Amino acid sequence: MQMDFSYKVTWLHKINPSLKFIIIIILFIHLLMIHNINFIINYMLGMTILYLFFTGHPWKRLLIISIPFILIFLTSSTSMIFFGKGEITWIKWGLVHITEESFFRGLHLGFRGIIFATLGIIFALTTRPVYLFYSLMQQLKLKPKYAYSFMAAVRLIPIMIEETQTLHYALKVRGVQNHKGFVGFYKKLKSYSIPMLSQSIRKAYRIAIAMEAKRFSDTVNRTYYYQLGFSKFDMIFMFYFVIMILVSYYAAINHPYFSILDVRDNG
């Protein structure tokens, strides 16, 4: 969505999108294998630095975007904290049973959730969809049919959002009366969602026809307006993570915040 806002282009924007994507997936897998809460806290700090200083977006926007992070933290951790298994009981109150193990396991999940969120948002804030799909075609051999469909659909989204406005006008002009309560809510939901969906399908369909009219075909040997390759920024990006992970690990072993090394039940 960053395309609707202005931002400064930083080195994070210049990384090959496919590579960025793959690295994020590797980090994801790696994160799943970390069970040491100290490590994960350091990891999170390393991510926050990237997010705060290198995405090229203004502070205010970054802050607003990060509000849901708190929510993520809560959603990922609360049920584990309240209802997880464990031996060392801290609080027992009805169904709620907080144990030391479940508490740290919950925290761990919460931090991990925040890291995934930050990584995802860094990607979203620093990658233009058009470049992403060109790169996916060029580096990962995504079929043009899919890539261009994605790009066309992404272009349609803001247009469709604008059209909800027209739809809203239309309902008012025709004197559609609002009902209260659940029935009213359901009616309203229906009177917006169905035309939206049906109009989008119609528009997508027409665009597909227009694309075919422009001789679009799924051949492999098409030429490309944008050629996405690799650069020194890709190296910097990889190095950043390697160093960050090593430092986090070292710090976690030598200067732990908590004495727990593995948050798993049977660990």
Partner 1 sequence: MKKGLKLTDILVTIIIALLFGIIYKLWGPLYGVVSTFGLQIEQLIYGMWFIAAIVAYLIIRKPGVALLAEVAAAQGEFIFGGEWGVVTLVFGLGQGLAAELIFAAFRYKRSDMFIACLAGVASAFASIGIDYYYGYVADLAIWNLLIMFGARVIGAILISGIFAYLIVQALEKTGVTNLVRPASSEDYKALN
Partner 2 sequence: MTTIASITNMRLKFPGVESLLFKDFSLSLNKGEKVLILGPSGSGKSTLLQVLTGLVPDAVEIPMKAEEKIIPESWGFLFQDPDTQFCMPYVDEEIAFVLENLQTPREQMESSIHYYLHQVGLTFDNIHTKIQTLSGGMKQRLAIASVLALEPEVLFLDEPTAMLDPKGTQSVWDTLKDIGKDKTVVIVEHKIEQIVDFVDRIILLNENGEIIADGSKRKIFDQYKHVLIEQGIWYPGVWDEYIQVNRKEFPISNKVNEKPNLHLAEFAGYREKSKKIDVKEADAYPGEWITVLGPNGAGKSTLLLGLMNLIKTKGSYYILDQNHRKIKNFSDYVSFVFQNPEFQFITNTVFDEVAYSIQLEDWSEEQVLTRVNQLLNLYQLEAHKQKHPYQLSMGQKRRLSFAAAIIKEQPILLLDEPTFGQDAKNTFAILEQLERLRLQGTTVIMVTHDLQIVNHFATKVWYISNGKLVEECSASNYTKNNQKQPAMS
- Interacting residues with partner 2 between 192 and 221 (CB under 8 A): 195, 198-199, 202-203, 206-217, 221
Single out the residue of 140, 170, 194, 246 in contact with partner 1 (rule: CB under 8 A): 194
266 binds partner 2 (CB under 8 A): no
CB atoms within 10 A of CB 35: 15
Cβ closest to partner 1, residue 85 vs residue 222:
85
- CA dist 54 and 48 (Å) reads 10
Binding mask 149-168 for partner 2 (x = CB under 8 A): --xx-xx--xx---x--xx-
Which of the choices partner 2, partner 1, none does residue 124 contact, using the CB cut-off of 5 to 8 A by kind? Answer: partner 1
CA 58 to CA 102: how far, in whole Å?
A: 38
> Can you tell me whether residue 29 is helix, strand or coil?
helix
Q: Does 130 bind partner 1 (CB under 8 A)?
A: no
CB of 188 to partner 1, least distance (A): 14
Identify which of residues 90 and 250 has a Cβ nearer to partner 1 in the complex: 90
* Positions 47 through 86 that interact with partner 1 (CB under 8 A): 65, 68-69, 71-72, 74-76, 78-85
- Residues 90 to 129 in contact with partner 1, rule: CB under 8 A: 95, 97, 102, 105, 109, 113, 116-121, 123-125, 127, 129
Partner from partner 2, partner 1, none binding residue 90, C-beta < 5-8 Å depending on class: none
Told to check if 174 binds partner 2 by CB under 8 A, we report yes
Cβ-based neighbours of 108, under 8 Å, separated by 6 or more: 35, 37, 40, 263
**Could you say which of partner 2, partner 1, none residue 160 binds, taking C-beta under 5 to 8 angstroms by partner kind?**
partner 1
Angle at which helix 17-32 crosses helix 129-140, to 10 degrees, equals 80
Q: Does 159 bind partner 1 (CB under 8 A)?
A: no
- Single residue of 140, 201, 236, 242 touching partner 1 by CB under 8 A: 201
Residue closer to partner 2, measured from CB, 152 or 245? 152
Distances (CA, A) of 22 to 15, 28, 88, 132, 136: 12, 10, 40, 12, 11
∠ CA(24), CA(114), CA(63), 5° rounding?
A: 105
Q: Are 51 and 62 in contact, with CB atoms under 8 Å apart?
A: yes
Burial-class residue 10 by CB neighbours within 10 Å (0-12, 13-18, 19+).
Answer: middle
Binding of partner 1 at residue 212 (CB under 8 A)? yes
Only one residue has tokens 């058009």, namely 130
Q: Nearest Cα to 84, choosing from 75, 73, 95, 74?
A: 95
In this structure, the number of other CB atoms found within 10 A of the CB of residue 161 comes to 10
* Site for partner 2, rule CB under 8 A: 3, 130, 148, 151-152, 154-155, 158-159, 163, 166-167, 169-177, 191, 195, 198-199, 202-203, 206-217, 221-225, 227
